[in-house]
Amino acid sequence: MDIPLLTDEARGWVGREFDMPPFTVTEKDIRKYEAGLGNEVPEHPDTAQPLLYTALVRPIAPVAELSADGLTEDRRAPVGEGRVMFGGIDVELVRPLVVGDQVRGRRRLESLEEKYGRRGPFVLATWRTEYVDAAGEPVIRETSTQILK
């Protein structure tokens, strides 16, 4: 008999919210991102590539503070052995990011669902994040999933 992965402690994470690091879109960020993609780098860009925000919101933390899978411990529910895999992402770009945008985001754990796959039990975690500009208007909505074991 398998021991359930989804404990009361883990269930207590549902509804937990986190502030994402705020950022301001700069010409330099756009230029660096374009160069990293291997694209032509515009001299004075005004609009960012749609997924630039992903490079700007990931927490910068010392390696000693990261788990074996490269996450900070406060970004996943305490399930099983603490292993996590990327399960997918759906991004809605409400409007393009432009130079000068001041953006902040709030991430919420929407659900934890225990499942059973070919390799045994796992928990599917669904997160929703909304990013807004300085006026509080949405610019990006993101739904992502993690596979926890």
pLDDT at 70: 66
Q: Phi first, then psi: what are they for 135, rounded to 5°?
A: -85, 0
**Cβ neighbours of residue 38 under 8 Å, at least 6 residues apart?**
none
3-state class percentages of the chain: helix first, strand second, coil last, to nearest 5: 20, 40, 40
pLDDT at 1: 42
Tokens of 90: 């759906």
C-alpha neighbours within 13 Å on the C-beta side of residue 23: 24
Give the span between the Cα atoms of 73 and 87, in whole angstroms. Answer: 18
Look up the pTM and report it: 0.82
Tokens of 134: 């300085």
pLDDT at 11: 93
Tokens of 82: 């603490």
Residue written as token pair 């000693």:
64
Q: What is the pLDDT along the chain (149 residues), one digit of tens a residue?
A: 455 788 888 899 999 999 988 999 999 999 988 888 888 888 888 888 888 888 888 767 777 877 666 666 667 788 877 778 889 999 999 999 999 999 999 999 999 999 988 888 899 999 999 999 999 999 999 999 999 88
pLDDT at 2: 57
Tokens of 116: 């059973």
SS3 of residue 43 by DSSP: coil
Give the span between the Cα atoms of 57 and 71, in whole angstroms. Answer: 13
Number of Cβ within 10 Å of residue 35's Cβ equals 11
CA dihedral angle for residue 7, residue 9, residue 15, residue 19, rounded to 10 degrees: -130
pLDDT at 58: 73
